Amino acid sequence: MTTPILVTGATGRVGTELVRLLDRAGVRPRALVRDVERARTRLGDRAELVAGDLGRPADLDAALAGVDRMFVLTATGRGQLTQERNAIDAAVRAGVRHVVKLSVLDAGRDSPLRHGVWQGDANALLVNSPVRHTVLQLAFFMQNLFGMVGGGAIRSSAGDGRVAMVDARDVAAAVAATLVDCPDWAYDRTLVLSGPEALSFDDTAKVLAEATGLPVRHLPVPREQVAAMLRRFGAEEWYAEDVAVFNDLIAAGRVATVTDTVRRLTGSAPRSLADFAREHAPVLARAAAPAPAGRPGG
């Protein structure tokens, strides 16, 4: 019995949910993972786990045996383009008939984001390959807010700009629908995923405050401080600068596009931020709690 779908990035926020949804749809995918035992704690028996590394083409060749569809998602980093090129080249060698790839919004050579250029180069490789493809782009995961809310404040240099946030679970649902039963209109297309609305961080703070019952505010800071905060937490210079640039993009209104792609692919409307915040209120409340007296806070 062949395994029709290979999932990369299976233990991340999108991949874990994707594997669950595929299993629920009666499809047991194969997952290429670095650590099988660790992956099993997240995925259980819902996927066939194969040890391998996207940096090693031979591992991909072995994992793609008997596979005709593939999901490509790699961790953001300097090796991202190499890993995604390896995955696409392996898909061509294996005769995979459909590759679904996740990407940052407006990836390409002209992207002001370093990882936008890397992903854009990989997207171009896929689009120009003989493999049928669907590139799904998005601007911002709602789950990113877990790490942004601290001491009762969201700090950004985005001003009153808006961003079309989307729940990672809705992204996974769109990927699953595209892999399992791709509609004709979604083949060989680059599609944008979003939630139902574009929100400023002022709006976001109000939604989180209502859901948690705690005071949450948006605290504007200079863009240099955005990068500096990330560097203090150990981020590489390029990544810290990319986050600051992304704040610039929000402020300029370049990531506010709202689409109906999730609904068209899945048949269901994407979750709103209010729904997301109510569901995750305990986690958000811990993040939003004011800093104790004597410690730095909002």
242: CB partners within 8 A, 6+ apart: 113, 114, 115
Distance between first and last Cα of the chain: 56
Give residue 1's pLDDT. Answer: 42
22: CB partners within 8 A, 6+ apart: 5, 7, 28, 29, 46, 47, 176, 179, 180
Low pLDDT (below 50) residues in the chain = 1-2, 293-298
CB 118 within 8 A of CB 186: no
Residue 32 CA to residue 43 CA, distance in Å, equals 12
Give residue 294's pLDDT. Answer: 40
Q: Which residues pair with 33 in a beta bridge?
A: 51
Sketch out the chain's domains with CATH numbers.
5-138 (3.40.50.720)
**Rounded (10°) CA dihedral 126, 16, 76, 193:** 60
- Residue showing tokens 């392996």: 90
293: CB partners within 8 A, 6+ apart: none
Residue 6 CA to residue 179 CA, distance in Å, equals 10
Q: Return phi, psi of residue 61, to 5°.
A: -60, -45
Please count the other Cβ atoms lying within 10 Å of the Cβ belonging to residue 203: 16
